[in-house]
Structure 1
């Protein structure tokens, strides 16, 4: 009995150690960064149609970008960075919580009409990252853009 308990304890401690040593941000595609470390700034405009301009952006692995986002619409919009799974999960969560809670997330901005904001991000893995708005079903209506992260 003690052997089983000891084995179970060791197993749980191993899992906990791995969980604690993983990326603290939890973002497989990159991490938040300071604006002073940005390699460049990219202007992004949000519209009520709904949509973003530009609809697609190219960056390189290791590049740090400040997204300077302007809400040109008359309704609140989000700018949420995430892979497709994260965006889908956030879309599901929007029905369960107030959208204003996203304001505290490291990978997101919530902008009121005509408001501007910025988010700086370092991209660490090649692939596709999406930016989207989930307010009032905008994501389902196509308010999503694509960041193509090249291997360099």
Structure 2
């Protein structure tokens, strides 16, 4: 009888510990709003995006529907910054979660967190038309203007 109680306690503890990780929305079968992860075997256009204190350079990007972009992300700032590609509504929702869990790290094909002087790459195919947002969702960074937009035509 003591073994099931111990197992139950261990499972409950594991669920509590895992809660912040689950707070990061999983995309799973519903996919991504801005398209899909790219295919490294297919051609792509490279766009360098600089992340610095409260801005992205460039802040506006235009792509064609179906185009694959290799984003080279460089944190030229003095703080950690993020690049998360989604809709504005999704980024606002995720920003609220980030306020509760400010050290959450992203391990998604549409986003990454970078320490100062670090570089990362994201490969993305834009399959849906519209305007999408890339934001830094570290608390207060988005509010101070750290957003950019991709228009897919």
TM-score > 0.5, shorter chain as reference:
yes
Mark the CA change 1:73 to 1:58 in structure 2 (over 3 Å): closer, same or farther: same
Specify which of 114, 120, 136 is matched with residue 139 of structure 2. 136
Aligned partners of 2:131, 2:148: CA distance in 1, in Å? 10
**SS of corresponding position for 1:24:** helix
Q: 1:39: which partner in 2?
A: 44
Matched with 2:123 is 120
User: RMSD of aligned C-alpha atoms?
Assistant: 1.7
Unaligned 5+ segments in structure 1 are 1-22
Q: What is the deviation of 1:25?
A: 5.4
Alignment gaps of 5+ in structure 2? 1-27
Distance 1:120 1:78 in 2: 16
- Map 1:69-108 → 2, pairs under 5 A: 69-102=73-106, 104-108=107-111
Q: Residue 35 of structure 1: CA displacement?
A: 3.4
When normalised by structure 1's length, the TM-score is 0.78
Instruction: Give aligned pairs, total.
Output: 127
